[in-house]
Structure 1
């Protein structure tokens, strides 16, 4: 009987994660024809909260024990803002272009960690950062193309998400991943409801179906991503995150008749390669 390695399971989970995250973005685009993206973000977080609710039955309220409640709240604010930016961007610019630019989030995380957490950085790390941001310039091409508002929103979401990841680095020293997940769900649903009220439209049955899929695919993606990094080595599974750009290109073409240009592929590959190089190199240094 064929026995699969842990990396094989990690790769399988990563394939599922990249596909489900892309399907979530497709559903956001589809339902945005009738529902404002800010309201969509609320339903994404609402269904996400339903997903984490069973954790209370398994771990009781002990998972809420923390001495850093305010930091969980700050992180949730940033995460919510990042989601609002990104969901809005999905309605304004091509799917593949949004995904390509979203690869900048790890680069901004490294940048913030250097200046806010005082992490040391050598020349190779700085060169990788510069190359990665050059890749973003290639995708947007300011001065050669009219800068799309959606591209600006994706960059804004990456910066805000980088701030959230920086706080996670700080919290993960004392908090479990379960505590981080539960507080994210508890805070983000009400936080996203506040702006959603101003754009509220009661969804029809078809809209509710797509909104459910947004929440389902989003939750499934996070679970699969966690399984990927738990089962396989980071160096084996992380490079497969580039599949998000491939899925986005395929689904964007089939569903929305969007065909990404060569610059999106080149820039996206440069951004992703730089971010992956930094992540794997940092992991090797820690080990």
Structure 2
């Protein structure tokens, strides 16, 4: 799975032009969904451990351009090296989980499950960050998990390894977000992006050496497009966050479900499951409410500091 946008991790925006920021975010999410659709097609012929490093190789092209604009590698300094390494490792493991889920489930199902990440973050922030979660956010978490039950329908539909892998990507993604909450103010964007790429390579390349299969030229083009989409989307997310507040950009990621439904129907023959649509709507509503409460909590804390 292409690393998801992490709006909570970005630096504070400069001169805000929200509409342009929203546009950049929307285009980025189209690219993320397109990259994941290409990866799903490739999983029918190649190991996910081979696909990941090939995708990273092409993703590094636009990312290197972004890093050069930020001053290059010489200016890179990690303020929290251990947490940076852990973040990269979690991103790599999460991508393995996500890619396997794509190979076994429709894109929309994987995205719908992945959208419950804010709920897991809310729960884990209590023991890890020592945050207080009040009744409103707890209610949103409960409602969100009810949405997951609507989608997977335990007892009516068989739970597969694909569902478990999607849930695995949720927990690794939540770990990444929690780390970002601790270090994002101190770390450079170049360090954060580079850590993800290195994490993807570290978790996939050792196994890729044993499962490598010479790809057809057309498949090289497909994985190249997937990598370029993923790397360019990372660039656009950073750009979006420099133009608009994170609270404005974050909800845009949910538009990926629209592209997932479209790609699944057009290219993979997946019928649009009304239970997935309804469940995803519940999860998205719950996540948006959690974001709203987080934003209010942030304003309250800032007011007390002043």
| Offset, 1:58 | 5.2
Match of 1:18 in 2: 29
Q: Which residue matches 1:273?
A: 285
Name the counterpart of 2:178. 166
Matching of residue 85 in structure 1 with residue 97 in structure 2: yes
Superposed, which structure 2 residues align to 1:1-287 within 5 Å? 6-54=17-65, 55=67, 59-287=71-299
Task: Supply the distance in 2 between the matched residues of 1:125 and 1:133 (Cα, whole angstroms).
Answer: 12
| 3-state DSSP of counterpart to 1:202 | coil
Unmatched tracts of structure 2, length 5 or more:
1-15, 300-306
The number of equivalent residue pairs is 283
The CA distance in 2 between the partners of 1:117 and 1:57, in whole Å, is: 33
Q: State TM-score, norm by structure 1.
A: 0.91
Take 1:261 and 1:220, find their aligned partners in 2: how far apart are those partners? 31
Q: How far apart, in 2, do the equivalents of 1:154 and 1:135 lie?
A: 15
Change (3 A) 1:183 1:236: closer
**More divergent stretch after superposition (197-206 vs 268-277):** 197-206
Cα 1:187/1:274, change in 2 over 3 Å: same
1:119: how far off? 1.3
What is the TM-score when the length of structure 2 is the normalising length? 0.86
Deviations along 1:9-32, one digit per CA (max 9) or x if unpaired, are 122112212211111111011222
Write out per-residue CA displacement over residues 160-182 of structure 1, whole angstroms, 9 at most, x where no aligned residue: 11112111222213212222112
Relative distance call for 1:58 and 1:8 in structure 2 (3 A) is closer
Displacement, 1:146?
Answer: 1.0
Deviation larger for 228-237 or 252-261: 228-237
Q: Could you list the runs of 5+ residues in structure 1 that have no partner in the other structure?
A: none
Partners of 2:246 and 2:83 in 1: CA distance: 27
Q: Deviation of residue 62 (structure 1)? A: 4.2
Mapped contact 1:94–1:252 kept (Cα < 8 A): yes
**Aligned-residue CA RMSD in angstroms?**
2.0
Stretch moving more, 165-174 or 97-106:
165-174
Displacement of 1:235 in angstroms is 4.5
Give the drift of 1:185.
2.4
CA distance in 2, matches of 1:228, 1:185: 20
Q: Matched residues in 2 for 1:89 and 1:203: separation? A: 22
Q: What's the CA shift for 1:236?
A: 3.9
Q: 1:27 touches 1:214 (CA, 8 Å); kept in 2?
A: yes
